[in-house]
């Protein structure tokens, strides 16, 4: 009987001590879990950005221009029909990706606003592709005269 009485006297102290320890140590654990979750979201969003950039480059090679920023959703839905479950062009935090082409259509910017969802903060990351010189297929012919390789003679190019 005496042991049972001691148990009921000590039980509230043990219970309160357990609760205090739980609340003290659960917050750092939550922060570690959030950090790991954020790292996973960053990796997945970077992969989505790279896949999107490759699709944009392939589109440029076939058409000679990048899709307009307003047409990015439709372009990606056509390019990745199975990606509706991933909701491209939305990053893993649920924020839309920022896409902008350069004025001369030689490059683009594709940026995620990161976990804070605010533009132009240190949490932003993405990809920027820009070509300083015209691409191979855009270069004009050097002259109206062509040189035939087998004979080494010049011949006027036909117009």
Q: Quick one: pLDDT at residue 87?
A: 63
Residues 6+ apart with CB under 8 A from 33: none
Phi (first) and psi of residue 125, to 5 degrees: -155, 155
Q: What is the DSSP letter of 120?
A: S
With contact defined as beta carbons under 8 Å apart, do 67 and 59 qualify? yes
Q: Give the pLDDT confidence of 73-110 residue by residue, as tens digits.
A: 888 888 887 765 556 678 999 999 999 998 888 899 99
Quote the pTM value. Answer: 0.64
Q: Give the pLDDT confidence of 106-138 residue by residue, as tens digits.
A: 899 999 999 899 999 998 999 988 877 666 655
Residues 6+ apart with CB under 8 A from 49: 97, 110, 112, 126, 127
């Amino acid at each position: 009987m005496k042991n049972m009485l001691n148990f009921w006297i000590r039980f509230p102290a043990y219970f309160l001590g357990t609760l205090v320890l739980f609340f003290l140590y659960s917050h750092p654990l939550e922060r570690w879990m959030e950090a790991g979750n954020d790292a996973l979201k960053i990796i997945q969003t970077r992969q989505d950005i790279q896949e999107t950039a490759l699709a944009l480059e392939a589109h440029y090679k076939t058409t000679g221009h990048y899709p307009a920023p307003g047409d990015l959703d439709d372009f990606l839905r056509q390019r990745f029909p199975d990606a509706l479950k991933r909701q491209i062009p939305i990053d893993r935090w649920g924020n839309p990706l920022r896409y902008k082409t350069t004025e001369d259509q030689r490059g683009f910017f594709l940026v995620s606003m990161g976990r804070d969802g605010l533009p132009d903060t240190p949490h932003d990351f993405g990809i920027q592709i820009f070509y300083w010189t015209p691409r191979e297929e855009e270069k004009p012919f050097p002259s109206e005269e062509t040189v035939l390789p087998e004979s080494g003679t010049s011949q006027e190019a036909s117009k």
